[in-house]
Structure 1
């Protein structure tokens, strides 16, 4: 299956966000390419201990003019098992040891020690799907001042995959994100470093994820918006082509679409 990317739209971000704004304005694609340094990714595209596969994805990303890569060493598929720090570090170091190119790098982790290791190895972005619930992670962000992707997580959930009940999922997710942003800023996180992600598929039913996807424009409230729908079940149930899914995001004000590089 060929992934379709258009050239970056003329949609302008009227945001006074020094770091994110400069990065976004330098892109030719509104895309973050996904690199799973695992063997148990739900998409079956993990590169851990597979140099050939990693090399192929890096070259493909270059050819498609993808400038940002999001690298993770833990599968977040439904029913995933927690991975010990040592194992996640091993997977992450495999990527670092075999990486080539001139990409902007994002670390996809819930572990502040992995995030610190990444930032000490030229990563610029921290993508925490647990919603920055760990105070040590927040303190690291304040100390190192990377750009961050704040992924929505229901404040009452026990883990990122626990299905939560929503009365008005669009309003509640936005409210949760706004509250979390205030919390991060109160701890000293620079507002200009924050982008947001409504967390499609994380702790949400397919119906709720579809409602969020249909109302993405509701999340354009002063922060770059990141969205990931690639290969998720709710998106597969929508009667939309890859091009239509991507176009819907861009027209809704999404700054970055998180996509698998190749299938």
Structure 2
């Protein structure tokens, strides 16, 4: 029987003796939820947690592309696509993309994630050459601008390779190494690599997704992807993991993952979460259009920060930065 250990994060300044820092960050925990596929969840004290598990939960995460994780980091989304679900077509022109990137940097983004292929539900695959033509001029211009870490959001090894040559630091693979067999070898040369969980491809992923236990199934899948990345020569300290909200998940699947995000600290990697403006926020919060989901997106980002999630991938940088600043001041998060 596999046992899973979910730290129960706290940020209250009244930290009791014996509490441990979660992943070396701003949250602490003194209890853990013990989960399995055969028994009800049970909250236990730290003395019941195996030593190797506790070491992985508490170990500070290594810097990636120069970013430390003593505070939540904001990854600004820059889609240079005509058809992304939220901002498709707004930043296709190079000058518009550069202006948006510079604005997000000024608003407080810590890094940027550039994408040249929409992976919204039902989206068709874009040829490598077209995706490269969309992202590389913008990426190269941003690299000339300065030292902000840059991520390339792609499933394709050829695109990742071109982006790294143009100055990208991080590869963000929404397929989690399941789409392109050549991706691992390319990603091994990046300063950081994000493996995301997805069930199916964008064309099919929302066609009746099913899990036995979504929280634990996603954990097992990410654990397998981390092992594959390590086998390809990518150290765990250079990895980010993303549970993949909306990628082959129903509304209830997404809610279940968000509620217990802290489970994924058990993988020993930096956690990245991309919830911004997604459909489940619109359903729960009443935002019919993606552009109307900023308040709900910020609410999920704040919850994720209280769960110790280190990287928040967002469209609304200024609003998220302001909310994090206030939460840090009054709620104990950095």
Q: Shorter-chain TM-score category? A: 0.7 to 0.9
Aligned to 1:236: 282
Aligned to 2:270: 224
In structure 2, the gaps of 5 or more residues are 1-24, 29-56, 286-294, 320-334
C-alpha separation in 1, matches of 2:77 and 2:307: 22
Matched, 1:73 2:116: yes
Deviation at 1:176, TM superposition (A): 0.8
C-alpha separation in 1, matches of 2:302 and 2:138: 31
C-alpha separation in 2, matches of 1:55 and 1:138: 29
Aligned to 1:30: 73
C-alpha separation in 1, matches of 2:269 and 2:251: 25
- Please say which of residues 246-255 and 130-139 is displaced more in the overlay: 130-139
Structure with higher RCO (Cα < 8 A, 6+ apart): 1
Deviation at 1:31, TM superposition (A): 0.8
Q: TM-score, normalised by structure 1?
A: 0.85
Report SS of the residue matched to 2:241: strand
Deviation at 1:177, TM superposition (A): 0.7
Call closer, same or farther: CA 1:178–1:190 in 2, change over 3 Å: same
Aligned to 2:303: 248
C-alpha separation in 2, matches of 1:233 and 1:148: 26
1:155-166 paired onto structure 2 within 5 Å: 157=200, 161-163=204-206, 164-166=209-211
- The question of whether the paired residues in 2 share the 8 Å contact of 1:129 and 1:160 is answered with no
Aligned to 1:173: 218
Aligned to 1:140: 186
Aligned to 2:19: none
Report SS of the residue matched to 1:200: coil
Report SS of the residue matched to 1:195: strand
Matched, 1:130 2:175: yes
- The question of whether the paired residues in 1 share the 8 Å contact of 2:61 and 2:69 is answered with no
Q: TM-score, normalised by structure 2?
A: 0.68
Q: Which has the larger radius of gyration?
A: 2
Report SS of the residue matched to 1:202: coil
- The question of whether the paired residues in 1 share the 8 Å contact of 2:198 and 2:248 is answered with yes
Deviation at 1:158, TM superposition (A): 5.5
Report SS of the residue matched to 2:284: coil
C-alpha separation in 2, matches of 1:236 and 1:159: 19
Aligned to 2:255: 210
Pick one of 226, 234, 239 that aligns with 1:189. 234
Matched, 1:10 2:26: yes
Q: Deviations over 1:147-205 (max 9, x none)?
A: 11110124xx3667424311210010001111121122123221111110000000111
- The question of whether the paired residues in 1 share the 8 Å contact of 2:214 and 2:253 is answered with yes
- The question of whether the paired residues in 1 share the 8 Å contact of 2:84 and 2:118 is answered with yes
- The question of whether the paired residues in 2 share the 8 Å contact of 1:15 and 1:21 is answered with no
Report SS of the residue matched to 1:135: coil
- The question of whether the paired residues in 2 share the 8 Å contact of 1:160 and 1:202 is answered with no
Aligned to 2:102: 59
Q: Deviations over 1:196-246 (max 9, x none)?
A: 000000011122112111111111212111001111011223347444322
C-alpha separation in 2, matches of 1:24 and 1:236: 32
Matched, 1:106 2:106: no
Report SS of the residue matched to 1:92: helix
Aligned to 1:3: none
